[in-house]
Amino acid sequence: MNMQTRTPASSPADNGYGFSDRIQRQLEHAAHLCAGQGGRMTPQRRDVLGLILTATTPVGAYDLLEQLKTSGRKPAPPTVYRALDFLLEHGLIHRIERLSAFVPCTHLQHDHPHDHSHGPAETCLHSAQFLICRSCGGVTEIADAPRVLDVLKSICGKKNFTMQSASVEVEGVCEDCAPATRGQKGPAPAPN
């Protein structure tokens, strides 16, 4: 048996994704988080999370699959979907329903390497709110979500509906892209 307790990172043969230092720190942070929840951050899961963290826009399952193939292994869909399920369950990523694609939980992005009291598990597991830009494809996780959740909770309370998870997805044009689309046809006004 391997005494070296080889670090549960990408295997020597395929850690060639060249994850930046910043992302490697985030991956370590994530590993600690799910360790605390009794989860194991395996190489597969780590690679998938790393790829999602690296991307600037939501990543689809088959995009991940393609990228993973460039590495040593030749994974099939179940491999990716299993890794995604794990990451979702541990609050490390979110699924954008409208895009059938995945983004990292924003709490991983902000470096607070040892602040486990503010982990995703407590703040946004099973519930998240997003702004999706149609122009650049960027997705922003809304930080001041409690207000939205409070309204939803109050509505559910009135209807005796037991909320287990909730997703809010707003589609439109982000601040950076607004100038580009201005004057062309003008984005539709907000609903209602």
What is the Cα–Cα distance from 46 to 41, expressed in whole angstroms? 6
What is the Cα–Cα distance from 51 to 67, expressed in whole angstroms? 8
Interface residue with DNA, options 44, 67, 127, 129 (CB under 7 A): 44
Binding window for its own copies (CB under 8 A); candidates: 18-26, 43-51, 54-62, 152-160: 152-160
Q: How far is CA 75 from CA 63, 93, 174, in A?
A: 12, 20, 35
> Under DSSP, is residue 132 helix (H, G, I), strand (E, B) or coil?
strand
Report what 88 binds from Zn ion, DNA, its own copies, none; CB cut-off 5-8 Å by kind. Answer: none
Q: Does 165 bind DNA (CB under 7 A)?
A: no
Interface residue with Zn ion, options 54, 135, 140, 167 (CB under 5 A): 135
43-54 helix and 21-36 helix, angle to the nearest 10 degrees? 130
Q: How far is the CB of 66 from DNA (least distance, A)?
A: 10
What is the number of other CB atoms lying within 10 angstroms of the CB of residue 9? 18
Q: Does 85 bind its own copies (CB under 8 A)?
A: no
- Residues in touch with its own copies (CB under 8 A): 97-98, 123-127, 131, 133-134, 140, 142, 144-149, 151-153, 155-156, 159-175, 178, 187-188, 190-192
